[in-house]
Amino acid sequence: MVDVNEAQRGKHAHSDPALPTISDEADFTTRESSFSAYGNSFIEDQGRLSAEMSPMMMSPWNQVSPFTKSTWSNVDPRGSSLDEPTQPNALIGSLIREEGHIYSLATRGDLLYTGSDSKNIRVWKNLKEFSGFKSASGLVKAIVIMGDKIFTGHQDGKIRVWKVSPKKPNVHKRFGSLPTLKDVLKASIRPSSYVEVKRHRSALWLKHSDAISCLSLSDDQNLLYSASWDKTFKVWRISNSKCLESVSAHEDAVNSVVAGVEGLVFTGSADGTIKVWRREMQGKGVKHFFVQTLLKQECAVTALAVNPDSTLVYCGSSDGMVNFWERENNLAHGGVLKGHKLAILCLVARTKVVFSGSADKTICMWRRQGTVHTCVSVLSGHTGPVKCLAVEDDKEAKGQRYIVYSGSLDKSVWSVTDQEMSQQVVELDSAPNSLRSGISSS
């Protein structure tokens, strides 16, 4: 247990002053979204500040460097070592830090990137803090990695681009932003570059006018897709940072965008619909054409995912349901996965398993056999909504195992085996002011 005085806990999430701050040439002001009020209605404890609820606030700042000595627990409190491969499901570690909600996760090899409402992006290696950097403004809502570039989507509507130093892998330098300042200046002098974003308000078509909600790469990794609460998704060429197209996709906030194979792109919105788009190259440009509406419902679409070969498309909604469609069967509806009590906030699909994170503070692991999905594990222990997931293969394990990273009001790291198992519930000590260790799922 960590004993912390109330005065040390603080009342607000904040940026780490020790992290390098990089100013922006053309930062947006923070905007209110049409989805902002609606988006929190299905999350518990919405009346309290994220920092007040976060167990990260329970740990005082006592490190000399912001990049070191952020302790991860690695021993089972009942005495067994987590290095012993006897547990089919086990919590590897849980980090307690003074940074409020974790909104985004991404992995690259043995590195884990985390984004929070403190504007910090932290980098972890082997369960230890490895590096970190922060922007001048904008809660970090999405992270995508392509090669040595890291793309971060922010509450202020901007996409920031970072590069890893070739000589110092723990150093991340600001590479630019999307759109670039040069493109913004060129477009701003042309009246045709302005579009109406709200009544009596215009903005440049190549800039998002509200929060970035999601980032996704095309299957060939040449294009970056950005979804926004401004009801659009935009398409960017990674090689030159050009905005190729802006699509007015929905009648409310676009909460998720994901690119599949054969040029298919899927978008999900707070208006309750999922739409399918087909990408076609036109000379040096690109154009997306509407194909069909997969789903139309009253509740918001909150998350989308496709499996690695894009044969199945998954949708999470604010009613706690996960729907899926079969691409090889002309995108026919395949069924519904029912396992959560509150909104689905994140989805990750692998070849034979699907992970869903929810506002009910749990993670469900679904095993797929054909089109039949069975919930084989319910991972419980977060003290707040599970906002983001990232999944990596456990290369050190025998057989197929996954490392599942989950971000919430706290952040826990799980090791989940992909072996035949009966349905089970894994419950963890969720004391808000303690570092939690792994507990057997038996």
pLDDT tens readout for residues 308-366: 989 999 999 999 999 999 998 999 999 999 999 999 999 999 988 999 999 999 999 99
Cα torsion 165, 171, 173, 178 to 10°: value is 90
pLDDT digits (tens, 9 = 90+) for 186-229: 999 999 888 888 777 888 999 999 999 999 999 999 999 999 99
In a domain, 216, yes or no: yes
- Per-residue pLDDT band for 97 (boundaries 50, 70, 90) equals low
In a domain, 309, yes or no: yes
User: What is the tally of structural domains in the chain?
Assistant: 1
**pLDDT for the residue numbered 252:** 95
Higher pLDDT, 68 or 381: 381
Is 16 within 8 Å of 134 (Cβ atoms)? yes
Are the C-beta atoms of 323 and 336 separated by less than 8 Å? Answer: yes
Residue 92 lies in a domain: no
Residue 427, pLDDT score: 42
Return the closest-CA partner of residue 143 out of 176, 174, 103.
103
Q: Could you tell me if residue 428 is inside a domain?
A: no
Measured CA to CA, the distance from residue 256 to residue 267 in angstroms comes to 6
| Beta carbons within 8 Å of 95's beta carbon, 6+ residues apart | 56, 70, 71, 72, 410, 411, 413
Q: How far apart are the first and last CA of the chain?
A: 24
Average pLDDT over residues 244-259: 95
Cis ω for the linkage preceding 179 (within 30 of 0): yes
Q: Is residue 137 part of a domain?
A: yes
- Whether 67 is covered by a domain: the verdict is yes
User: Domain holding 106: CATH number?
Assistant: 2.130.10.10
Query: Tell me: the pLDDT tens digits for 261-315?
Result: 889 999 999 999 999 999 998 888 899 999 999 999 999 999 999 999 899 999 9
Report d(CA 151, CA 141) in Å as an integer. Answer: 11
Let me know if residue 87 belongs to a domain. no
Asked, for residue 354, whether it belongs to a domain, the answer is no
**Other Cβ atoms closer than 10 A to 179:** 24
Q: Which residues make beta-bridge pairs with 357?
A: 346, 363
- Domain of 284? 6-46+57-71+97-342
Instruction: Give me the pLDDT at residue 396, please.
Output: 74
Task: Identify residue 152 by its one-letter amino acid code.
Answer: T
CA distance 176 to 184: 13
